Amino acid sequence: MKRTEFLRRSFRTLGAITVIPVFGSCKSNEEIDPEEESESGTCVLTEPETDGPFPTKNPASLVLEDITSDRTGTALNIRITIQNKNNNCEPLADAVVDIWHCDAAGNYSQYGNTGMQRADYTNVSFLRGRQATSSEGVAGFRSIYPGWYSGRAPHIHVHVYNAAGKSLLITQIAFPEAISAVVYAQGVYASKGQADTSIARDNVFSDGVSTEMATVTGSVSNGYELVHAIVVSA
C-alpha cells in the first residue's frame, strides 16, 4: 500500500480530509536535508520500548502535523528521520510515524480519572498525531515541550509502521536533561517544578539512551527544535 493510499484510509475514518499547515519556522518535509539529522554515525537499530501506559487510541484518526491543540507550553518543532537498517540506513520514505506525549502538567489526553492520572482527559486527543515520511524519510510535527510525571524522565513515544501498515518499531525519545531543567523553571512548567526522575533512574531509559537521545536546540523565548533519527528493519 502506498503512502497516499495509507493516509487516505486514515482520513476516511474522519469522513473528511483536513489539510494542516506547516509550522511557520519549520522546513517542510521536502526541504529537510537528512544529513542535518542527529545520527550516531553507525547503522544501529533503535532500542524498542513500551507504548504504555497511555498509547494512542485509533491513531489513524489523528493525521496531524500540528498536534498542540489547546495545550500551552514552550514551542517544540519535531523532525524525525526514519532509516532502514536493511538498506544501509538509507531514509525510509512512506513510513507512517505516530507520536504522543504528555502536556506541561504531565497529563495525557484520551485517559484520566484513574489512579495513574487523576485529571480526566478521556474525551480529547491533544499532543497526539500521525504523519507519513517524505522521500528523505522525514516526518515533522509541531508541538510543545513535554512535561513530566512521577517516575519518568521527559520523553516522547513513537510508533513506526511501513507503508502497508505493518508495525516496525515502538520506541521512545529522550531529552537532554540540562535543557529540560531550563524549560521546567519557567512559564506553565514552573508550578510543577523539576522532573523527579533522572534518565539514569528512569525504568525505561536506565539501560542507556544511545539510540534514543534527541538533539534539541533553541531557547525558551524562540522555541526548541528536536531532531532525531530512528533506525528500523523494513
DSSP 216: E
Stated pTM of the model: 0.83
> In the numeric block, which cell numbers belong to residue 7?
493516509
**DSSP SS3 for 6:** helix
Q: Which amino acid is at 202?
A: D
**DSSP SS3 for 200:** helix
Neighbours of 91 (CB within 10 A): 19
Whether the per-residue pLDDT at 12 is higher than 90: the answer is no
**Beta strand pairing call for 75-84 and 223-232:** parallel
Please report where in the chains the cell 480526566 appears, as a residue: 120
34 vs 141 pLDDT, higher one = 141
Q: Which amino acid is at 214?
A: A
Whether the per-residue pLDDT at 11 is higher than 80: the answer is no
Backbone angles phi, psi at 199, to 5 degrees: -60, -40
Band (101; pLDDT cuts 50, 70, 90)? very high
Band (19; pLDDT cuts 50, 70, 90)? very low
Q: Please state, in angstroms and rounded to a whole number, the distance separating the CA atoms of residues 125 and 11.
A: 16
Mean pLDDT, the chain, as a whole number? 87
At 42 the pLDDT is 74
Whether the per-residue pLDDT at 152 is higher than 70: the answer is yes
At 39 the pLDDT is 40
- Render 135-157 in DSSP notation, one character per residue: TTSEEEEEEE-----TT--SEEE
Whether the per-residue pLDDT at 127 is higher than 70: the answer is yes
Residue pLDDT, tens place only, 204-233: 999 999 999 999 999 999 999 999 999 999
At 34 the pLDDT is 39
Residue pLDDT, tens place only, 166-179: 999 999 999 999 99
Neighbours of 201 (CB within 10 A): 12
CATH topology of domain 3-232: Protocatechuate 3,4-Dioxygenase, subunit A (2.60.130)
Band (99; pLDDT cuts 50, 70, 90)? very high
Closest CA to 172 of 146, 139, 201, 211: 211
Whether the per-residue pLDDT at 29 is higher than 80: the answer is no
Neighbours of 112 (CB within 10 A): 17
At 9 the pLDDT is 43
At 23 the pLDDT is 35
Whether the per-residue pLDDT at 15 is higher than 50: the answer is no
At 41 the pLDDT is 52
For the chain, the domains span 3-232
